[in-house]
Homo-oligomer: A and B are copies of this chain.
Amino acid sequence: MVRGPFIPRNWMGACETFEEADWVLVGLPYDGTTSFRPGTRFGPEAIRGASWGLETYSPLQDADLDGTPYFDAGELEFPLGNRDAILTMIRENARDVVQAGKRWLGLGGEHLVTFPVIEAYVEKYPDLAILHFDAHADLRDDYLGEKLSHATVLRRCVDLVGADSLVQLGIRSGPQEEFAWMRKNGTLLETREDLPKALARLEGRPVFLTIDLDVLDPSIMSGTGTPEPGGMSFSTFVEWLMEFRHLNFVGADVVELSPHYDPSGVSTVVAAKVVREVMLLGRKQNQQTAQAAKAAAGTTA
């Protein structure tokens, strides 16, 4: 043997075994239906690398990953170009995680990777609700004649959970029909006044959190396939996330990082920090410091 010490290859701070984990991180390097700029296949590996620049402590939530065991399962190795086999493979792995009573944390890859996970979740949680951050509604019924693509993925999820189990934030681009659909079905959380209604959809139910990183403004997330100006700053995003932190999140994913398009590496750092904040959701907050955390989130920044 060689004595080392060696730099671990897992996520910074990940636990040793699947069994002890609460969250299970699974890389999903798939970008097969991407219509504009491909490259989200490189997302999971990039995020893992950037995890080593993170602190385990989040001043935003005044909580520390140290008390949150998570396992880094690695990246799935997909049969190239075979969309249906890939979706099956994701569904089966997600089922392993869900049935073991753990929380899935998928790292995309394009947004289509969310659908087979929802399939696995509704088997266990028939009353699943979905909290969806995105620039695009992804609600087309089909896209260029195709039922399964990044542009239809939330519509397919709605087929499984129903439109009244969906809450969407940040949507700012799409055809007129999608906006009409969202208004008709009340899925779009548009202003802070809509928050109580949105929470009413989600509270008391198992919630899956799906974050398309292009919900963030391209000033901070240029490394994505279809950047949409007018998005949330990182601080605004976190403030919204905090409004939901008391919910019962049973799984999550963070998708659409395309790291090569941001040569500064900032997008990848942002993605890694989003993952950290997601894993800390629901952690009990240190009461005496709650005020300071709130301040850090919203005041000098």
Task: Choose from B26, B33, B76, B218 the contact partner of A269 (Cβ within 8 Å).
Answer: B218
Interface string of A226-237 (1 = CB under 8 A from B): 111111111110
Determine if B169 and A7 form an interchain contact, defined as CB atoms under 8 angstroms apart.
no
| B residues in contact with A245, CB < 8 Å | none
| B residues in contact with A55, CB < 8 Å | 173-175
Interface residue? A16 (CB, 8 A)? no
Determine if A170 and B301 form an interchain contact, defined as CB atoms under 8 angstroms apart.
yes
15 A-B pairs in the complex with CB atoms less than 8 angstroms apart: A1-B96, A5-B77, A7-B74, A33-B80, A36-B53, A37-B265, A53-B226, A55-B174, A59-B172, A217-B219, A217-B301, A218-B220, A219-B266, A222-B266, A263-B264
Q: In the complex, A171 Cα to B52 Cα: how many Å?
A: 19
Interface residue? A81 (CB, 8 A)? yes
| B residues in contact with A183, CB < 8 Å | 289, 292
Seed contacts A6-B75, A261-B265; 19 additional CB < 8 Å A-B pairs: A2-B73, A4-B76, A7-B75, A57-B176, A60-B172, A62-B179, A79-B145, A79-B146, A80-B144, A81-B146, A170-B301, A189-B300, A217-B234, A218-B220, A218-B264, A220-B229, A229-B269, A230-B235, A232-B300
Interface residue? A185 (CB, 8 A)? no
Q: Mark the stretch among A38-46, A199-207, A249-257 that contacts chain B.
A: A38-46
Interface residue? A22 (CB, 8 A)? no
Interface residue? A20 (CB, 8 A)? no
Q: Contacts A53-B226, A81-B83, A264-B262 known; A39 to B36 CB distance under 8 Å?
A: no
A20 CB to closest chain B CB (Å) equals: 13
Residues of A within 8 A of B (CB): 1-7, 9, 18, 24, 26-27, 29, 31-33, 35-39, 41, 45, 49, 53, 55-57, 59-60, 62, 64, 73-77, 79-83, 92-93, 96-97, 143-146, 149, 169-176, 179-180, 183, 188-192, 217-220, 222-223, 226-236, 238, 240, 260-266, 269-270, 273, 289, 292, 295-297, 299-301
Q: Contacts A39-B38, A149-B80 known; A230 to B234 CB distance under 8 Å?
A: yes
Q: Which residue of B lies closest to A174 (CB)?
A: B55
Q: In the complex, A75 Cα to B4 Cα: how many Å?
A: 8
| B residues in contact with A222, CB < 8 Å | 264-266
